[in-house]
Amino acid sequence: MPSSVVISARGEQRVRAGHPWIYRTDVMNVEAEGGDLVTVIGPRNRRLGHALFSDRSQITLRMLNVGEGDAGHALIRSRLERAIAFRESLGIDANAYRLVHAEGDLLPSLIVDRYDRHLVIQSLSQGVDRLQSEIVSILAELLRPEGILARNDPKVRMLEGLEQTVEVLHGSVPASVTVHEGPVEYDVDLRTGQKTGLFLDQRENRDAAVRYARGRLLDCFSYNGGFSLRLAHQCAEVEAIDISADAVVRIRVNAERNGVPHVVAREANVFDELRRLERAGARYDTIVLDPPAFAKNKASVANALAGYKEINLRAMRLLASGGYLITCSCSYNVNEEMFGAMLHEASIDSRVPMTIVEKRMQGRDHPVLVGVPETYYLKCFILRRVE
């Protein structure tokens, strides 16, 4: 018996509006097991399409296709092919980038990142776990990588009742791989680095910052130095701050490798450090704020906004006249409008008039699916202190 799930009228409306997620509250009847590829049936017994079913998550169904078509091997393969072809068409000057961005490539809850001749895949649902070996063999055939690593260790897998594992699924994966992003070279540890190793979603924002950065640069939440290393050649002094000792070691290694010894990294809490620098009367020509997601869920939005405002208003005060602030948020619960309103308040409270030079988002290899706000998570505004 093929698996099927019947959903409510409201669920059907969401499917018709193009949203790939159906929540548990809109599920009426289940004849399926966790991880099954199911036929989705509307309240009037109409077949609506196919989805990956989860018996644990609040997101019970992730739509793979809408309408009559099949959702088997051929669909998965063609979606992977399209995702890869799109990246190849972008002319990305890097050999590390995202190949598959889950919902943004109509492959919900699947991430695939390329690090030169190695791939890292991440499965975020029971359904993708079930398809994982099929996906790995398609990727191996299409891309002929030297190795494929599963970084199945993000916490969200717990919501699906899935274990956290890191394992090589194909070929071999060395302890460290070398990749380049534009002119910058990195050593990346794919097994333990944050996300899948690097923050690939910021590549184009780092490139954009090249147009403005100069003088003294303060790179806050620097991780292994993405912004610092990209901007170092045009900045006389570079200070990078991260709370993680491991990140500070990585930035030092990468600064050495890229021949930019004036990048000075230190381990500190940015909140404390900005306050201290303000008291000390420090001034910077360029400041980057790239914090982790402060709002992990809707309940934490108010606190998150207070945190964003705090660091932004202090950064505005630390800027020299005519200086640039590159400020980011990767919390999708804080949307662009809320982020803009927070920056407005920070400018009022700091009494520093700022102009918006650019409004940016995650790189093009992390596509946003129209009508699905969850896929637009990274905001990056470039502001200028007017006087």
Q: Interface residues with ligand SAH (CB under 6 A)?
A: 199, 202, 221-223, 226-227, 241-244, 247, 269-271, 290-292
The minimum distance between CB 282 and ligand SAH, in angstroms, equals: 17
170 vs 118: CA distance, rounded Å: 10
Instruction: Indicate the residue among 1 and 245 with the shorter CB distance to ligand SAH.
Output: 245
The minimum distance between CB 384 and ligand SAH, in angstroms, equals: 20
Instruction: Indicate the residue among 157 and 230 with the shorter CB distance to ligand SAH.
Output: 230
- Give strand pairing partners of 53: 61
185 vs 16: CA distance, rounded Å: 45
Select which of 220, 328, 330, 380 is catalytic: 330
Structure-block tokens of residue 354? 């700022």
Region class of 150: left (phi > 0), else alpha (psi between -120 and 50), else beta: beta
240 vs 219: CA distance, rounded Å: 5
The minimum distance between CB 191 and ligand SAH, in angstroms, equals: 17
**Start-to-end C-alpha separation, the chain:** 70
The minimum distance between CB 47 and ligand SAH, in angstroms, equals: 43
4 vs 135: CA distance, rounded Å: 23
333 vs 298: CA distance, rounded Å: 6
Does the annotation mark 328 as catalytic?
no
Instruction: Indicate the residue among 239 and 242 with the shorter CB distance to ligand SAH.
Output: 242
Instruction: Indicate the residue among 125 and 327 with the shorter CB distance to ligand SAH.
Output: 327
Instruction: Indicate the residue among 132 and 194 with the shorter CB distance to ligand SAH.
Output: 194
290 vs 219: CA distance, rounded Å: 8
Which residue has 């989805």 as its token pair? 51
Q: Output the residue with the shortest Cβ distance to ligand SAH.
A: 226
> Which three-class secondary structure state does DSSP give residue 140?
helix
Active-site positions read 330
